A = this chain, B = another copy of it.
Amino acid sequence: MKFVANKDEFLNGIRIVERATVVKGLQPVLANVLIETVGENQIKLFATDFDLSINTTINATIEEEGRFTLPAKKLGEILSRLNDELIKLELNGTTATITCKNSKFDIIGISANEFPKIEENISEDDSMEIETQPFIKAIRQVVSAAAGYETNNLLSGVFSQVNENILEMAATDGNRLARVREAVTNASVREDHPFEMIIPSRVLSELSKIATLTEAENIKICKERKKIVITIDKTKIITSLIYGQFPKYNQLIPQTFPKEAVINKTNMISALERVAVMVNEKNSIVKFEFADNTLKLSGDSPDAGNSQDELDIQYTAEPLAIAFNYKFILEFLKIAEAEEIKIQLNSPLSATVFVPCSEEDYIYLVMPVQLRG
């Protein structure tokens, strides 16, 4: 194998696929990127941890075809420090030599034969295309509400549905639920056949990062029963779908609320962060007391002391005291774009809904925590 490639393009490709490498696993080859020449003008990079596989194609001038694997991290480090546009890579036995201007590196790799085979071909029967921008925005709005990553845990997935011109995504870890609806144009979905799937949240997080490295306007998704291939620009992400019945979350969202408050996001973030200096680190509880256009926040740390803060808000209903894990609220406030946030309340133990005033299709429901004493 021998080729010349543009350094930045090659590095970008490594940065995309290395998200699927396993750095300290039992199989050393999984820490590597498989590099494969394709015809005379392209190389393809592959990485996989079996759960998630990523490949991407970059331009190169091939002088000698071949395939070989090299450690992703070292390769990225080397490329990022080189100071010329073009790099040359040449394979000699188990060593690849990279040269660039006055610099030369011999990197020990592993034979391509040891790299696992990933089936990336999938029927195009069940597929759709969606605009990148609203899809990635929706991912960012819901993904952190999913449960921690575990294979086959339904709640570690994000429910995604595309229905003609509406994308709906939702995630919940049982304590909170984020749901967003985004208008999309030209999603190529058959009217009578909505496109539904539960995608592992980790895969969507990686996709949203990869999207920032490409300029593709559309993302294509092909799915089979338990597998999807997401194509963005020259990159393909192959992963298992989570299979099962996602909770009927829309039924969990109350339709009416007897009480409503409107708060300023920036003030609320500072006040919450202040009060949070003195909370019980085990449960992160902050008490919210709504009364008479005022919100009083308070924290209590058994060893360190307690904290209180007061905010001017819009609230004219009956006084209400309710408590939350403040981290859930802070996470939402930092994602929301609107400056004004509506808080829809019922009773101290009922689901509370946070809605950004200018993005009413994005709702964030949090279950309160019972206050003792």
A positions within 8 Å CB-CB of B: 71, 74, 77-78, 81-83, 95, 102-108, 270-271, 273-274, 277-278, 303-311
Contact = CB atoms under 8 A, between A and B. Distances in A.
14 contacts: A74-B304, A77-B277, A78-B274, A81-B273, A82-B274, A83-B270, A95-B305, A102-B271, A103-B308, A104-B309, A105-B305, A105-B308, A107-B305, A108-B303
A102 B277 CA distance: 15
Contacts of A95: 305
Contacts of A107: 278, 304-305
Contacts of A74: 277-278, 304-305
A272 B95 CA distance: 22
Given A95-B305, A304-B71, A304-B74, A277 B81 contact: yes
A105 B310 contact: no
A78 B309 CA distance: 12
Given A81-B270, A83-B270, A270-B81, A307 B103 contact: yes
Contact of A104 (B83, B303, B308): B308
A303 B274 CA distance: 49
B108 A304 contact: yes
A303 B95 CA distance: 11
A111 to B, nearest CB: 16
Contacts of A82: 274
A106 B277 contact: no
A306 B273 contact: no
Q: What are the 3 closest A-B residue pairs judged by CB atoms, nearest first?
A: A102-B310, A107-B305, A81-B274
A78 B71 CA distance: 45
| Most chain B C-beta atoms within 10 Å of own C-beta, residue among A108, A274, A277, A305 | A305
Nearest to A94: B305
Nearest to A103: B309
Given A78-B274, A83-B270, A107-B305, 19 more contacts: A71-B304, A78-B277, A78-B278, A81-B273, A81-B274, A82-B274, A102-B311, A103-B307, A103-B309, A103-B310, A104-B309, A105-B277, A105-B305, A105-B307, A105-B308, A106-B278, A106-B306, A107-B278, A107-B304
A297 to B, nearest CB: 9
Contacts of A102: 271, 309-311
Nearest to A274: B81
A302 B303 CA distance: 52
A277 B105 CA distance: 9
Given A81-B270, A81-B274, A82-B274, A108 B308 contact: no
A308 B304 CA distance: 56
Contacts of A309: 102-104
Nearest to A302: B108
A88 to B, nearest CB: 14
A96 to B, nearest CB: 8
Contacts of A274: 78, 81-82, 103
A105 B298 CA distance: 9
A27 to B, nearest CB: 16
A308 B104 CA distance: 5
A305 B108 CA distance: 5
Contacts of A311: 102
